[in-house]
A and B are shown apart, each in its own frame.
Chain A
Amino acid sequence: MQKKTTYWQENLRLIAICLVIWFIVSFGFGLLLVEPLNEFRLGGYKLGFWFAQQGSIYIFVALIFWYGYKMNSLDKKYQSEDES
């Protein structure tokens, strides 16, 4: 029982980290902070505009894979402890 709670808590911590990043890149950089970020440039893109139409999507993809990778190692960790 104790172990399951820890697995769940570690999972919740990962989700929290991911969702904070998810929020910052889309709602933060893409919407709320778009005007100050537009002062900077990425090639022809204004930076805030780039986050809203390109960058946030790339980061979403990376987030899901990172989360999946971390969860797989969590799964392994707790499953092997169960067996031993």
Chain B
Amino acid sequence: MDELKLYTYIAVFGTFTLYFAIAWWARAASTSDFYVAGGGVTPMQNGMAIGADWMSAASFISMAGLIAFLGYGGSVFLMGWTGGYVLLAMLLAPYMRKHGKFTVPEFISDRYYSKTARIVAVVCLILASLTYIIGQMKGVGVAFSRFLEVDYGLGLGIGMAVVWFYAVLGGMKGITYTQIAQYVVMIFAYTIPAVFISFQLTGNPIPQLGLGSTLADGSGIYLLDKLDLVVTELGFKEYTTSNMNGSLDMFAYTMSLMIGTAGLPHVIMRFFTVPSAQAARSSAGYALVFIALLYTVAPAVGAMARLNLMNTIEPTAGQHLEYEKRPQWFKDWEKTGLLEFEDKNGDGKIQYSADKTTNEMVKVDNDIMVLANPAIANLPNWVIALVAAGGLAAALSTAAGLLLAISSSISHDLMKGVLTPDMTEKSELLAGRIVMTLAILVSGYLGLHPPGFAAGTVALAFGLAAASIFPALMMGIFSKKMSGTAAVAGMCSGIGITMLYVFQHKGIMFIPGTSFLGDMAPNWFFGISPNAFGVVGAIVNFGIAFVVLQFTGPAPKYVQDLVENMRSPGGTGAISHH
């Protein structure tokens, strides 16, 4: 066994042992423990747990890679996935915490006094969470198979077993405390390589400052200017200004990600674990601090990885790397099929350019940038091992949060709330655990046999959350008169139009060949890409709800009083005596 593999085993199994120990210590004894960790998590702890819950394999592995290739266009992810917390802290979290229930559909059912509304919310939630979880399961499988060189299926199985152990045993309580540990693992794994690379390139160890500094090679050129120069010479778009599908699309994309973030149930649920409305507000702040630590480093990682990659292949202009002399990481990633070289002009050297006919780097997958970055920069092996453990922590923590959102919506909302309301707390807890086990098996199966549409589904998860859940929650708090009928009409039309739009461009249920309009920019509505359509769905939701409200009359008096109570000061939680 070589040194890198040894370190990787130590890092991965060391962190897993830690998660097991925490899970055993934080076993859940009641439904309150299971769903909301007993409601006694401090804002700082909750902020960290939200950070781990929120930052998935996509944030950890894919985002910096996307930024590396999109340049300025990648800003939509940075702003979109952080700006949503401002909306959460001001428009949703404190009032929903004040109301004091366990789940998002339960809040919707109380506010809209309707079982139909609850069921619609459960359906939206399961669709959004399940599509999201497939990506996490794939992330776990990929990380295991690349770093530990075990079979993809076996890696997935190990990941499932670990999540099963701490999520089923500890529920929200176990998940919260493991997520805190996972956050710490993840942030170290992300920032340590970035600090090294930033110091190598610019002499400034703080990546956020390094990105704005001059290069340490004595040329006195700013890093970003150098990068612009290198990429434009090869015919790529200028890094710092390259737009993505035009300004309107970037605008809509960013807005969709922001309101989608604020409407994702596994994130909202975490705000039910703190003791008060005040604590809900401050935990949103802490959460964003912990998220920003990674998100402000990501653009530095992206830009520096791109520069390092370019410099490896073409050390000085016109002088190309010989294929036979390619470094070890190049060979490793070629084996995975995520990096491909084709010697088109037969000179044995690697030419990398934007011109499709002469470009010989046929495939450079976005996802390898973060994972390969430490190796490209020649960092020590223990750093690379740490990155593997961090990627696994990111995938596992998000998967656990999503599983809890799914299982609570089934055991608490569907079974306890609608089908068998006279269930005892003990049997509800058991039901919760059984549903969680089933959810893990289903998502594991989907991870092993990813349906053809896996890649497109994240767009759908955000689209659904943005077009259905966010508007329903916001209107429930900010419009006292909003009625159940109107909200249900709004949710259904919001989801309906978003799904229609995604399907007509990406294929019905993402089956290739069924997209009757084709996924091409000229066919897009005002040039808005399917991924960015959630905001239009949300506007439709608001619009339809207010029109229906005009015809069907306002919510009853006792519901308006309920809203009045949510808006009043203080927030010790329990529903007050009205």
Mark A residues whose CB is within 8 Å of B. 4, 7-8, 11, 15, 18-19, 22, 26-27, 30-32, 34-35, 38, 42-46, 49-50, 52-54, 56-58, 60-61, 63-65, 67-68, 71-72, 74-75, 78-79, 82
Taken together as a complex, chains A and B put the C-alpha atoms of A54 and B211 apart, in Å, by 10
B78 — which chain A residues lie within 8 A by C-beta?
52-53, 56-57
In the complex, the chain A residue whose C-beta lies closest to that of B227 is A44
CA distance A57 to B86 in the complex (A): 10
Please name the residue on chain B nearest to A78 by beta carbon.
Answer: B569
B567 pairs with A11, CB closer than 8 A: yes
Nearest-CB residue, chain A, relative to B226: A44
How far apart sit A41 and B193, CA to CA, in the bound complex (Å)? 27
Q: Which residue of A lies closest to B73 (CB)?
A: A52
The contact sample of 24 A-B pairs, CB cut-off 8 A, is A7-B567, A18-B90, A19-B86, A26-B79, A26-B254, A32-B251, A34-B241, A44-B222, A46-B224, A49-B240, A52-B72, A54-B208, A56-B78, A56-B79, A57-B79, A60-B82, A60-B292, A61-B288, A64-B281, A67-B90, A68-B89, A68-B278, A68-B282, A82-B569
What residues make up the interface of B, taking CB atoms closer than 8 Å to A?
Answer: 67, 72, 74-75, 78-79, 82-83, 85-86, 89-91, 94, 208-209, 211-214, 222-225, 240-241, 247, 250-251, 254-255, 278, 281-282, 284-285, 288-289, 292, 295-296, 299, 564, 567-571
- Assess whether A22 is in contact with B223, with CB atoms less than 8 Å apart: no
Contact B86 A18 (CB under 8 A): yes
Report the separation of the CA atoms of residues A57 and B224 in the bound assembly, to the nearest whole angstrom.
20
Is the beta-carbon distance between A79 and B281 smaller than 8 angstroms? no
B276's closest neighbor in chain A, by CB?
A75
In the assembled complex, which residues on chain A have CB atoms less than 8 Å from the CB atom of B222? 43-44
Q: A31-B250, A67-B90 are in contact. Are A44 and B214 (CB under 8 A)?
A: yes
Q: Is the CB of A45 within 8 A of B211?
A: yes
Q: How far is the CA of A35 from the CA of B242 in the complex (A)?
A: 11
The reply to whether B86 and A22 form a contact with Cβ atoms under 8 Å apart is yes
Closest Cβ–Cβ distance, residue B96 to chain A (whole Å): 15
Contacting B569 at CB < 8 Å: which of A7, A30, A34, A57? A7
With the chains together, A39 CA to B407 CA distance in Å? 52
Known: A46-B240, A57-B296, A60-B82. 7 other contacts (CB 8 A): A31-B75, A32-B251, A57-B295, A58-B292, A61-B285, A68-B282, A75-B571
| Contact residues of A: prevailing secondary structure | helix
A2 to chain B, nearest CB (A): 12
- Collect the chain B residues with CB atoms within 8 Å of residue A71's CB: 94, 278, 281
Distance (whole angstroms) from the CB of B268 to the closest CB of chain A: 16
With A64-B284, A64-B285 already in contact, the answer to whether A45 and B212 are too (CB < 8 A) is yes
CB-CB under 8 A from B67, the residues of chain A are 53
Min CB–CB distance A76 → chain B (angstroms):
9
Task: State A83–B284 Cα separation when bound (angstroms).
Answer: 29
Nearest A residue to B215, CB-CB: A44
Q: Which residue of chain B has its CB nearest to the CB of A77?
A: B569
Among B67, B79, B295, B570, residue most surrounded by chain A Cβ atoms (within 10 Å): B79
B83 and A64 within 8 A (CB): no
Asked if A63 and B86 sit within 8 Å, CB to CB, the answer is yes
Residue of B nearest to A15 (CB): B90
